[in-house]
Structure 1
Amino acid sequence: MTVLLLAGIVLTLILLMKQRDFASVGMVRNISYRLKGRSLSTNYWQAGIALFAANAALFALAFVILFFLPYGAMVGLLLCIPLSLFTWVIFSEVWEGAMKDKVKMASIGSSFFLLFLGYIFWYYATLEPAYPGDDLFMAWIGVIIATIFAIGAMCVSMFVILRK
């Protein structure tokens, strides 16, 4: 599991360093060309809600892959991280408005991870032992991992979307 986590981190770092090349790929340019000039490229509320929905859909895809497929963690790391970066690069390339509105759009879209973090903290705060003497240490480790995931995903999405 540690090797998979490190592979995901290395893959993310490579994709972040190569995001300029990633943004010039034909498919990204084609999608962004088709979306430019529409309200999604100038209205930060619509773009932010669409980004929020995209983040939620990608999280749901990762959840389904992780829990319902054999070797799901490996497939999830190899599939969902590039898909997330691809989505965030598209939203960054499509945006035609002011930088101030782009920050608002990115904040609205990345608030999914804040809501996820709030849910995790609420779940842990209301968690009760299944039987007397049950140790909740593993639940605490899950909270730490989910916190790292949520903060990391939010920071990477903001970094990718707000690049110049």
Structure 2
Amino acid sequence: MTVLLLAGIVFTLILIMRQRDFASVGMVKNISHKMKGHSLSTNYWQAGIALFSVNAALFALAFVILFFLPYGAMAGLLMCIPLSLLTWIIFSEAWMGTWKDKVKMAFIGSSFFLLFLVWVFWYYATLEPAYPGDDLFMAWIGVIIASIFTTGAMCVSMFVILRK
């Protein structure tokens, strides 16, 4: 299981380092070229909401995989992280508006991660022990791990879309 997690981290780092190469792949060029004529390439609200929706859908897919496959967490991470990065690269390549609007689009699209982080903190703040003397230390560890993953996902997505 640790090997799968490390493979996912390495694969994600490769995607980030080679994003220029992936942006020139035929599939990405084809999809981004088809998007250039639509409002998703110039309207930051529509593009940001589309990115928000894609992030939410991929998170829901990873969540479903987590509960229905034996090693679902690793399978979900190995599948959903590259798909999310690919989506962000496609939107970055298709964008035809100003740099300021691209930043707004990126903030709207990555706000899913911020909302998830707020929910995690709210859940932990309202968590009550199941029985008297119950230790909530493991719940705190879960909050720390969720904070690291969501902050990392938000930073990576912003880095991918705001590259020049």
Range class of TM-score, shorter chain: over 0.9
**Percent identity between the two aligned chains:** 85
Deviates more, 1:59-68 or 1:4-13: 4-13
The one-letter code matched in structure 2 to 1:22 is: F
Deviations 1:98-140 (A, max 9, x none): 0010000000000000000000000000000000011111100
**Pair 1:33-2:29 in alignment:** no
Normalising by structure 2, we get a TM-score of 0.96
Q: What is the CA–CA distance in structure 1 between the aligned matches of 2:77 and 2:117, rounded to whole Å?
A: 20
Deviates more, 1:2-11 or 1:33-42: 2-11
Gaps of 5+ in 1: none
Which residue does 1:54 correspond to in 2? 54
Which residue does 1:9 correspond to in 2? 9
Normalising by structure 1, we get a TM-score of 0.96
- The number of residue pairs the alignment matches comes to 164
Which residue does 1:146 correspond to in 2? 146
The one-letter code matched in structure 2 to 1:117 is: L
**1:12 Cα shift?**
1.0
Q: What is the CA–CA distance in structure 2 between the aligned matches of 1:94 and 1:121, rounded to whole Å?
A: 35
Q: What is the CA–CA distance in structure 2 between the aligned matches of 1:131 and 1:66, rounded to whole Å?
A: 27
The one-letter code matched in structure 1 to 2:62 is: A
Paired residues of 1:4 and 1:77 also in contact (CA < 8 A): no
Which residue does 1:101 correspond to in 2? 101
The CA RMSD measured in Å over matched residues stands at 1.0
The one-letter code matched in structure 2 to 1:20 is: R
Gaps of 5+ in 2: none
Q: What is the CA–CA distance in structure 1 between the aligned matches of 2:9 and 2:70, rounded to whole Å?
A: 21
Where does 1:57-136 land on structure 2 (aligned, <5 Å)? 57-136=57-136
**1:71 Cα shift?**
1.5
**1:10 Cα shift?**
1.4
